Amino acid sequence: MMCEEVRAIISTIQTDGVQSTQPDDEDQESSVLHIVGNSRLSGHVPISGAKNSTLAIMAGALLSSDGCRITNVPSLADVQRMIDILSALGIKIDRDGDALDIDASHIGQSSAPYELVSKLRASFFAIGPVLARLGVARIPLPGGCAIGARPVDLHVRGLQAMGADVQIEHGIVQAYSRQPGGRLRGAKIYLDYPSVGATETLMMAATLAEGETIIENAAQEPEVVDLADFCIAMGAKIQGAGTKTIYIDGVDRMHATEYAIIPDRIEAGTFMVAAAITKSILDISPVVPDHLTAVIAKLQEIGAKVSYESPTCLRVEGSDCHRGTDIETLPYPGFPTDMQAQFMALLTLSEGNSVVKETVFENRLQHVAELCRMGANIRLKGNIAVVTGVPTLSGAPVTATDLRASAALVLAGLAAQGETQIKGLHHLDRGYDRIEHKLRQLGANIYRTSEAPVA
Ligand code: EPZ
């Protein structure tokens, strides 16, 4: 199937790549978020579309040669990065408010910017759809990040099981299907770990493969289900998404669709913790309460009251939050690793000792040092943090190390005595849609300045 398009892909992704159209990271790096803490919040928080659904579904849009429209898309730096990467693959994408119109009728003359792929792990998920559509794909390795090495061995092994020849050379994953006509073949795949990304990559690749694919020990996260529902809306035959075993019957092609992204459960959880840590009452919507079962249970354990104002609106009352609790992060439906840092900020002010164990990523406790700068009492032992509650935190200059760590520092700043200045805001802007605007609407004293470079 070595058509022009395929040749265009094979000459693909140069590692020099096109320049990003990102807002300049340096600007964000010189910005500072100022928070004067210890004030109550009140009101309603609007929750945006889910970042981790949006990024996977944007890659999934490549499966359809008829184009599609995705709505409820959050305004995030990571979404813009994904737009840049898909545009570099020759995909036409138009942003229309909170909607994206994606026309993937032609994938070609790709030169996905290496420096972007290495910064946005989710861009690697494009390998499944591109390989499924064209029979060949070359995507730079996403590389590690602050929270871990982030390998892609489960993605690669699954694609190999589906008949792809996959080589990794000079930091580029090169895959092509050995099958006649370049079409992947269905396979039975067991994932050593219920990886969200590997489940999504292989599910997408399987939608256009010949025959049935079974993914066992699959990730069950709501974002996996959202991606499956999106693919089904385009004509895919998928059953079992959200369970440990997913069945996909390959189809010949996918058609256009319009699809709305689910609410972001991690943004919602972050604002639920904001209510608890400031001992406020907040209404949070839209949410899917079933996506927040573990977070709700843990908030109730420490004394928060969580009630349902409507099927899609939660009310969190934090006035009685004082007890400690233990947290162990696990694949869904366990306590989400993406909420670990935020919850730890809350536990720094809870009575007694709380034990936080991070089991999903090998290096996702870097927020501990910064929280200690604000007066928290936390002892680290490998992937376990023992948090001993203190009466108050004190505002201080701190630096964010990764996306969820930055959210934890914002939460700590909201509760601290005095002013906290947070740097490293490019992390925060990756995953939170206008967070300081939403907090100001609730009465928080929070504003951003761009720090003049030191002369
Ligand atoms: C997704 O990352 C999310 N990102 C992460 O959210 C989230 O923390 C993570 O799932 C877990 O829920 C997106 O969806 C864009 P994994 P992903 O593959 O797919 C290991 C945030 O803050 N692993 O489930 O990369 C891996 O090293 C971000 O919004 C392999 O060993 O996560 C990790 O230890 C952070 N080999 C564990 O599995 C592989 O081939 C879980 O990773 C793949 C993963």
Atom of ligand 1 nearest to the CA of 197: 19
What's the pLDDT tens digit per position in 278-296? 999 999 999 999 999 999 9
Q: Is the pLDDT of residue 449 over 70?
A: yes
Query: Average pLDDT of 364-389?
Result: 98
Looking at every residue in the chain, the average pLDDT score rounds to 91
Query: Average pLDDT of 345-362?
Result: 97
Say which CATH architecture domain 51-260 belongs to.
Alpha-beta prism (3.65)
How do the domains of the chain map onto residue ranges?
7-48+263-450, 51-260
Ligand 1 neighbourhood includes 364 CB (under 6 angstroms):
no
pLDDT top residue among 404 and 123: 404
Atom of ligand 1 nearest to the CA of 193: 38
* Full-model pTM: 0.93
Query: Average pLDDT of 204-226?
Result: 98
Give the distance (Å) from ligand 1 centre to CA of residue 279: 32
Q: Is the pLDDT of residue 274 over 80?
A: yes
Q: What is the pLDDT of residue 454?
A: 55
Burial environment of residue 419 by CB neighbours within 10 A (0 to 12, 13 to 18, 19 or more): middle
The set of catalytic residues is 145
Ligand 1 neighbourhood includes 52 CB (under 6 angstroms):
yes
Ligand 1 neighbourhood includes 55 CB (under 6 angstroms):
yes
Ligand 1 neighbourhood includes 265 CB (under 6 angstroms):
no
Atom of ligand 1 nearest to the CA of 219: 24
Q: What is the pLDDT of residue 121?
A: 86
Q: What is the pLDDT of residue 340?
A: 98
| Separation of alpha carbons 255 and 232, rounded Å | 10
Say what percent of the chain tops pLDDT 70. 91
| Separation of alpha carbons 205 and 298, rounded Å | 37
Give the distance (Å) from ligand 1 centre to CA of residue 222: 14
- Same fold flag, 7-48+263-450 and 51-260: yes
**For ligand 1, atom 37, which residue shows the shortest CA distance?**
360
Cis status, amide bond into 151, omega within 30 of 0: no
Q: What is the pLDDT of residue 3?
A: 43
Q: What is the pLDDT of residue 354?
A: 98
pLDDT top residue among 216 and 150: 216
Q: What is the pLDDT of residue 11?
A: 43
Say which CATH architecture domain 7-48+263-450 belongs to.
Alpha-beta prism (3.65)
| Separation of alpha carbons 234 and 218, rounded Å | 22
